[in-house]
Amino acid sequence: MGLWDKLLSAFTVDTFTHSFLYLKMSREQLVVQRAKKAFQTGKTKPLEYRIHQLKSLYRFVSERRKDIADAVKRDLNKSEHGTELFETLGLEGEINLAIERLAEWAAPRPVEKNLLTIADNVYVQPEPLGVVLIIGAWNYPWAVTLQPLVGAIAAGNAAIIKPSEVSPNSAKVMEELLPLYLDKDLYPVVTGGVSETQELLKQRFDHVFYTGSSAVGKLVMQAAAQHLTPVTLELGGKSPCYIDKNCDLAVACRRITWGKFVNCGQTCIAPDYILCESSIQNQVVEEIRKSIKEFYTDNPKTFEDYGRIINKRHFKRVMALMEGSTVVIGGESDESECYIAPTVLKDVTAESRVMQEEIFGPVLPIITVSGVDEAIQFINEREKPLVVYVFSPDNKLVRRVIAETSSGALLANDCLVHFCVSALPFGGVGNSGMGCYHGRHSFNQFSHLRSCLIKKLKLESINNMRYPPHTASKMTWARFLLLKQINLGKLRRMALLVAFAALTAVIVQVR
Amino acid sequence: MSREQIAVARARKAFQTGRSKPLEHRIRQLKNLQRLFVERQTEISDAIKKDLNKSEVGTQLYETLGLEGEITLAIKKLKEWAAPRPVEKNLLTISDTVYIRPEPLGVVLIIGAWNYPWAVTIQPLIGAIAAGNAAVVKPSEVCAHTAKVMEELLPLYIDKELYPVVTGGVPETQELLRQRFDHIFYTGNSTVGKLIMEAAAKHLTPVTLELGGKSPCYIDKNCDISVACRRVAWGKYTNCGQTCIAPDYILCEPSIQERVIAEVKKSIKDFYTENPKSCPDYGRIINQRHFRRIMAMTEDSTIAVGGDNDESECYIAPTVLRDVKPEAKVMQEEIFGPLLPILPIGGLDEAINFINEREKPLALYVFTPSDKVIKRMIDETSSGGVLANDCLVHYSVSSLPFGGVGNSGMGCYHGKFSFNQLSHLRSCLIKKLKMEGVNSMRYPPHTPKKLGWARFFILKNPDLGWLGRMALLTIFAVVAAVVIQLKYLPA
């Protein structure tokens, strides 16, 4: 091409249009495009790269502990130790696990062969999806935003991180500091509110991971449908807590109190409400009162380890929920500080305000039921929750609750702690969500598990049975080869035994 | 209430009685389904012949044989699949019961397709039944005869309240999609797939979408072209190209194009005789709308083999197009017909680029003797599945998850994957109300000392398997030491 042609082509309408469009692109579009380009260079594929990024993420969490804790203090009034215990410790564990296991997770996974594939290479190959979008929540802004990121990085993707604007201090710190540790093209942080999130959701991703409410979950899924983008939705619901009258109430109520009032009740898996027989209601109340005092002193408001409601809107929402119910513990509040005391409501009815939505606050209603039958019925009349809690020493009762209800997870005799068992998939069902993560499940969720069958161009005669003209005798062969599910393991053992027997016979003869 | 609402409500009520949960029920239903395929082969084949002009043996080979295999597998393995699945414990759960429990989701909707109406409608049903769900079965109205047979026969074999068949067209499907399900399993095209997912979003219903795309087929010039083309021809012209995993188009170097054409032509003759139109094993296009759609695609390309057609019979001969350009009509959408375009490209690099410029397909085929070429293809592209040196057959390996990625779909099934896809895998952690002392480290007031303990328990992820082995070895060593001492102790 001559110089004149080259100059001319540099100034074609296409170029102008392209530059013009480039200027017209939104910030969100640019970020996504840059991430896509970065992904297409292929640099996230080598395991060394992913481990390097994960190690950097680990350094971030340990070096910037103070910045993170300060931000969470300002957002949720959580103490420094509280932040470590409930936000970053789990994150560190997940990063370490991913680094340790990545080679195993990312390796080809051989599968069971059949007669027709006995000489072939048959396996499932985990692959990156591409560019994923992670929309975080505000209640554990670091845990629920970065834990999915661990899976996304481990699986070899690029990831756009959108922290919740409702926890603005954490969002700001994430935006400022994360790019100092992670590749800023592959893992950009995009802050903003509703309109920025909507703009992001218009872009095309290879997976969208959302943590938040069911109402917004529907909108996220709808937006994803436009691009046939698969989604993981970690939503919520009212997690019921059944207390059997025969259990050790002191210990049960201690654990429930802890589970409820951590982070001021703003936990997706907090025990939302209690179901128990009326004969133990008073005792339950007293035990909870005792535990509240033990954990948060007589004056939770001044106590370092008791949090605050995230903002005034939620403060008003939670306060309004108490209307019409009997407060038996707590109830004090201070709007200027978004403070609500650890509160227990008794003799709550199904129609009361507090039972109409997920509480997500430090208000613990007790609903009396006649026994486990009624409790199971009560639970089943409602949306499937993220978790069902049951406190009972009776294994049969626990098994009944498991068999006759459905929920994301079931935890007997404690609260929250299933979250830390990375071998257990963490996720909801029905209204409480779809998909799951933690540990290897995060890796799988952000991967495409691609079926691979590598055959050879030999043994073509075997294939005759499948080619037209289709005859009855060919059909018989096909039937035999496809339907006889021979246990190849057993076959191998039989073969070994036969070989062994033959060898023995030979040796005996020779001797 | 509409007919669809009633069917769904009845299915839900039937599910809530709990009768689909016991394994005996599920196995019984699966065995009944098995009987259907043994006893009603003739009716099934007749309907398929009318819909797609498939021969009786062809129907068996491509539709019902696979189903029989899946049903047999599900019956055999159900107990194993449905059993609680223990998981790795950590230090904090060492004395607890920790497992994943597969549970039914509830009422699932299965929307079938018309190209292998029994296979793609009943295979998901097998998974649904095995997983303990109720299932509303909506066969495609495009294969009208088969839909009718399905509507008549299924209720004679399986529980008609739990597994109703709802026939109908677009408005009936839309009405179904307004109801609330616990999972929707759709097989069909990407356009409708989006609408399904959108409808499902309103109820937060998870979906499995088995969609399609243009599955590329790369032929390395160094391979045994004769065998390769034989397998490609079989993969392409089965069911007249109306297979979601048919090799859509060929990419090969120009130097072998003639040879490829000749070999494909030879295979066509071997399989379908000189006159495919009268061969009982050669099918038809499902209807005139699709006939016209496919014929229009030939307009701007050069026909190398075939091309003859007969609209009155929806017959299109096995056709090969040569020197096809990326802009050609035939390259703008999934062909789903008996046209095989060949696009000459410079080599593997160009083939990979070409594939990556397009949507991720359901299947990717590569014919080569070179492991290196295969490895590059796999590493540098993405697709639902990859099959080297053959076509279609990965579908029959039930231990391989069958599904798409990106535009070709989401979710997967076959074998145990069907069971898992239509189950909720519920995490269960059963603790005791003892050892409350251990929990002190998590309760307020949060102190550095408590945090230190928490750090130890949560972060030290000892391989308990290894720990167990070390413990055993230690015990063994101690016992050995004791034994030796006793033996050699001076009397």
A135 contact partners, CB below 8 Å, separation of at least 6: A162, A164, A197, A200, A208, A209, A210, A211, A212, A220
B453 pLDDT higher than 70: yes
B486 pLDDT higher than 90: no
Taking phi over 0 as left and psi of -120 to 50 as alpha, with beta for the rest, A77 belongs to left
C-beta atoms of A221 and B197 within 8 A: yes
Find which of A261, A456, A470, A480 to mutate to test the B interface (most B CBs within 10 Å of its CB).
Answer: A470
| Preceding amide of A469 cis, omega within 30 | yes
Q: Identify which of A228, A304, A402 has the shortest CB distance to residue B193.
A: A228
HSE-CB for B193 with a 13 A CA cutoff: 28
How many Å apart are CA A298 and CA B121, to the nearest integer?
A: 63
Interstrand relation of B302-305 and B319-322 (parallel, antiparallel or unpaired) = antiparallel
Q: Identify which of B60, B190, B386 has the shortest CB distance to residue A452.
A: B386
Rounded to an integer, the average pLDDT of B137-161 is: 97
Rounded to an integer, the average pLDDT of A141-169 is: 97
Q: CA dist A174 to A49, A80, A134, A171, Å?
A: 22, 17, 13, 5
How many Å apart are CA A421 and CA A411, to the nearest integer?
A: 12
Rounded to an integer, the average pLDDT of A471-494 is: 74
User: Catalytic annotation on A92?
Assistant: no
Q: How many CB pairs under 8 A join A and B?
A: 293
Percent of chain A surpassing pLDDT 70: 93
Catalytic residue selected from A241, A247, A253, A268 = A268
Check residue B140 and give its pLDDT: 97
How many Å apart are CA B274 and CA A309, to the nearest integer?
A: 79
**pLDDT tens-digit readout, A348-383:** 999 999 999 999 999 999 999 999 999 999 999 999
C-beta atoms of A412 and B209 within 8 A: no
- Number of helical (H) and strand (E) elements in chain A, helices listed first: 19, 17
Spell out which residues of chain B touch residue A469, defining contact as CB-CB under 8 Å.
271, 279-281
DSSP calls for B5-65: HHHHHHHHHHHHTTTT-SHHHHHHHHHHHHHHHHH-HHHHHHHHHHHH---HHHHIIIIIH
DSSP calls for A159-193: EEEE--TTSHHHHHHHHHHGGGTS-TTTS-B----
- Encoded tokens for A388: 């069902």
Percent of chain B surpassing pLDDT 70: 97
Q: Dihedral angle at the C-alpha atoms of A365, A368, A371, A375, nearest 10 degrees?
A: -40
C-beta atoms of A453 and B234 within 8 A: no
Check residue A314 and give its pLDDT: 97
Higher pLDDT residue, A50 or A493? A50
Quick check: A222 contacting B, CB < 8 Å? yes
User: Catalytic annotation on A264?
Assistant: no
Check residue B471 and give its pLDDT: 74
With CA atoms as reference, the chain A residue closest to B357 would be A40
How many Å apart are CA B257 and CA A178, to the nearest integer?
A: 53
How many CB atoms are closer than 10 A to CB B389?
23
B467 pLDDT higher than 80: no
Q: Strand runs (DSSP E) across B399-440, as ranges?
A: 409-410, 423-430
Spell out which residues of chain A touch residue B204, defining contact as CB-CB under 8 Å.
214, 217-218, 221, 233, 235, 430-431, 433-434
Rounded to an integer, the average pLDDT of A170-176 is: 97
B378 pLDDT higher than 60: yes
A16 pLDDT higher than 60: no
**Is it true that domain B3-211+413-426 has CATH number 3.40.605.10?**
yes
Question: Which residues are paired to B305 by β-bridges?
Answer: B320
Confidence class for position B174, pLDDT limits 50, 70, 90 = very high
Contact between A273 and A348 under an 8 Å Cβ cutoff? The reply is yes
- Encoded tokens for B306: 């075939």
C-beta atoms of A482 and B396 within 8 A: yes
A130 pLDDT higher than 90: yes
Counted residue by residue, chain B has a size of 491
- The pair phi, psi for residue A439, each rounded to 5°, is 55, -135
Check residue B465 and give its pLDDT: 59
Smallest CA–CA distance, residue B215 to chain A, in Å, is 14
How many Å apart are CA B327 and CA B330, to the nearest integer?
A: 8
Confidence class for position B438, pLDDT limits 50, 70, 90 = confident
Find which of A45, A241, A424 to mutate to test the B interface (most B CBs within 10 Å of its CB).
Answer: A424
Rounded to an integer, the average pLDDT of B376-398 is: 97
Spell out which residues of chain B touch residue A447, defining contact as CB-CB under 8 Å.
none
C-beta atoms of B209 and A89 within 8 A: no
Name the strand (E) or helix (H) holding B268: helix B257-272
Smallest CA–CA distance, residue A408 to chain B, in Å, is 6
Check residue A484 and give its pLDDT: 67
Check residue B178 and give its pLDDT: 98
SS3 percent helix, strand, coil of chain B, rounded to 5, is 50, 15, 35
Check residue B154 and give its pLDDT: 98
Q: Decide if B3-211+413-426 and B216-398 have a common fold.
A: no
Pick one of 3.40.50.620, 3.30.870.10, 3.40.50.300, 3.40.309.10 as the CATH number of B216-398: 3.40.309.10
Higher pLDDT residue, A464 or B383? B383
pTM greater than 0.90 (yes/no)? yes
Check residue B464 and give its pLDDT: 56
How many Å apart are CA B81 and CA B101, to the nearest integer?
A: 10
Q: Identify which of A122, A206, A475 has the shortest CB distance to residue B406.
A: A206
**pLDDT tens-digit readout, A31-84:** 999 999 999 999 999 999 999 999 999 999 999 999 999 999 999 999 999 999
Catalytic residue selected from B210, B253, B263, B334 = B210
Q: Domain residue spans in chain B?
A: 3-211+413-426, 216-398, 461-490
B177 contact partners, CB below 8 Å, separation of at least 6: B109, B184, B195, B196, B199, B200
Strand order in the sheet with A109-110: A109-110, A121-128, A447-454, B385-388, B363-367, B216-219, B249-252, B339-344, B319-322, B302-305
C-beta atoms of A222 and B198 within 8 A: yes
Check residue A491 and give its pLDDT: 64
How many Å apart are CA A182 and CA A188, to the nearest integer?
A: 8
**pLDDT tens-digit readout, B205-255:** 999 999 999 999 999 999 999 999 999 999 999 999 999 999 999 999 999
HSE-CB for A323 with a 13 A CA cutoff: 8
**pLDDT tens-digit readout, A194-217:** 999 999 999 999 999 999 999 999
Counted residue by residue, chain A has a size of 511
A511 pLDDT higher than 70: no
How many Å apart are CA B400 and CA B235, to the nearest integer?
A: 19
Lowest mean pLDDT: which of A14-23, A261-270, A488-497, B34-43?
A14-23
Q: CA dist A490 to A441, B76, B393, Å?
A: 31, 16, 25
- Number of helical (H) and strand (E) elements in chain B, helices listed first: 17, 17
**pLDDT tens-digit readout, A325-346:** 999 999 999 999 999 999 999 9
Check residue A9 and give its pLDDT: 54
Check residue A482 and give its pLDDT: 77
With CA atoms as reference, the chain B residue closest to A218 would be B201
Q: Identify which of B60, B206, B407 has the shortest CB distance to residue A228.
A: B407
Confidence class for position B477, pLDDT limits 50, 70, 90 = confident
> Which residue's entry shows tokens 């007293």?
A286
Check residue A445 and give its pLDDT: 98
**pLDDT tens-digit readout, B47-72:** 999 999 899 888 888 899 999 999 99
Contact between B44 and B37 under an 8 Å Cβ cutoff? The reply is yes
Smallest CA–CA distance, residue A4 to chain B, in Å, is 29
**pLDDT tens-digit readout, B279-304:** 999 999 999 999 999 999 999 999 99
Check residue A476 and give its pLDDT: 86
| Mean of per-residue pLDDT scores for chain B | 95
| Mean of per-residue pLDDT scores for chain A | 93
**Which residues of chain A from 443 to 472 reach within 8 Å of chain B, CB to CB?**
448-457, 460, 463, 466-472
Confidence class for position A7, pLDDT limits 50, 70, 90 = low
Check residue B463 and give its pLDDT: 53
**pLDDT tens-digit readout, B259-273:** 999 999 999 999 999
Check residue A221 and give its pLDDT: 98
- Domains delineated in chain A: 26-235+441-449 (3.40.605.10), 240-426 (3.40.309.10), 459-510 (no CATH)
A365 contact partners, CB below 8 Å, separation of at least 6: A273, A274, A325, A344, A345, A348, A352, A354, A355, A359
List the one residue out of B330, B252, B337, B248 whose CA is nearest residue B288: B337
**pLDDT tens-digit readout, B320-348:** 999 999 999 999 999 999 999 999 999 99
Check residue B481 and give its pLDDT: 80
C-beta atoms of A418 and B66 within 8 A: no
Interstrand relation of B409-410 and B207-210 (parallel, antiparallel or unpaired) = antiparallel
